[in-house]
Amino acid sequence: MAEKIKNIAYKFGISYMQEGKRFTSVCLFCASEAGNFYLTPEHKKYKNVYNCIKC
């Protein structure tokens, strides 16, 4: 189950880089470079979430 968001990213053809427990990629919404947009499969209370610090 923890792999869900990565599978979704794969389906959309998003390439992402691992950064600890998170994965960073180009933002789908504002297209800002990797390092601003994160996918988190599972970390503490977060599960299968994404976050972009630019938008």
Which residues sit at the interface with Zn ion, rule CB under 5 A? 27, 29-30, 52, 54-55
Nearer to Zn ion, 17 or 30 (CB): 30
Nearer to Zn ion, 17 or 55 (CB): 55
Closest distance of CB 45 from Zn ion, Å: 22
Question: What is the number of other CB atoms lying within 10 angstroms of the CB of residue 27?
Answer: 21
Closest distance of CB 25 from Zn ion, Å: 10
